[in-house]
């Protein structure tokens, strides 16, 4: 056979049958049978979707930072809520918020507190503004803002601890509870 005479484009092959073509058929049939109801319900749900996180505490912290940011943009920068935030707005907010909060311990807020706050804030902004993005340049400037605030003494990296002494009575109760649990439920051997 002469290999120069064979052109693979001239040969037609039948596609192999997909053995999983029927996977999910029952749920697909049910879904299509409710097409109108599903379309209305899903549209309503999409329009009324709220920013929800795994826990109430996380939701509270996200909204805490988001509400602070919106108030800063409206009141200080005079930017309407409808305008998509940019990196500079976040930079300016961060410089202002550190002097507007009273830390629970110490004289200045912690670096980690502000860093985590930025994460919560960005999560909320991404949900509320579909066109919001931070370029690598803007992310770098926000990181530099955090470091600048730290070097200026407006943030601390020191671990702040509130001393709580554990009394002998509490230690005795904890030990007894652990011992009782081990007797009732056994212990892991590994």
pLDDT tens across 9-54, in order?
777 888 888 888 889 889 989 999 999 999 999 999 888 888 777 7
The pLDDT value recorded for residue 36 is 92
CA 128 to chain centre: 13
Q: Which of 78-82, 105-109, 132-136, 148-152 has the lowest mean pLDDT?
A: 105-109
Q: 156 and 108 in contact (C-beta within 8 Å)?
A: yes
pLDDT band at 188 (very low <50, low <70, confident <90, very high): confident
The pLDDT value recorded for residue 141 is 96
Largest CA distance in the chain: 95
DSSP secondary structure letter of residue 160: P
Q: Nearest CA to 122 among 61, 176, 166?
A: 61
- CA–CA distance, 88 with 94 (Å, rounded to integer): 10
Work out the number of other CB atoms within 10 angstroms of the CB of residue 79.
Answer: 16
pLDDT band at 61 (very low <50, low <70, confident <90, very high): very high
Work out the number of other CB atoms within 10 angstroms of the CB of residue 78.
Answer: 7
Contact residues for 76 (Cβ-Cβ < 8 A; gap 6+): 92, 96
- CA–CA distance, 49 with 67 (Å, rounded to integer): 18
Whether 59 shows a pLDDT value over 70: the answer reads yes
User: Per-residue pLDDT tens for 128-184?
Assistant: 999 999 999 999 999 999 999 999 999 999 876 656 666 777 788 888 888 888 888
Q: For the residues 103-128, what does the mean pLDDT come to? A: 92
CA 22 to chain centre: 37
Q: For the residues 65-87, what does the mean pLDDT come to? A: 97
> pTM of the entire structure?
0.67
The pLDDT value recorded for residue 41 is 92
């Amino acid at each position: 056979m002469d290999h120069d005479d064979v052109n693979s484009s001239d040969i037609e092959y039948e596609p192999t049958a997909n053995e999983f073509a029927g996977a999910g058929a029952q749920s697909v049939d049910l879904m299509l049978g409710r097409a109108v109801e599903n379309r209305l319900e899903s549209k309503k749900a999409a329009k009324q979707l709220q920013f929800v996180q795994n826990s109430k505490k996380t939701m509270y912290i996200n909204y805490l930072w988001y509400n602070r940011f919106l108030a800063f943009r409206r009141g200080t920068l005079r930017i309407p809520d409808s305008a998509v935030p940019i990196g500079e707005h976040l930079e300016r907010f961060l410089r202002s918020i550190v002097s507007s909060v009273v830390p629970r311990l110490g004289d200045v807020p912690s670096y980690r507190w502000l860093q985590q706050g930025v994460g919560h804030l960005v999560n909320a902004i991404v949900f509320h503004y579909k066109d919001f993005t931070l370029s690598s340049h803007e992310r770098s400037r926000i990181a530099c803002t955090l470091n600048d605030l730290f070097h200026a003494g407006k943030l601390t990296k020191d671990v702040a601890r509130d001393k709580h002494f554990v009394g002998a009575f509490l230690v005795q109760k904890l030990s007894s509870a652990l011992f009782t649990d081990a007797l009732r439920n056994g212990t892991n051997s590994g």
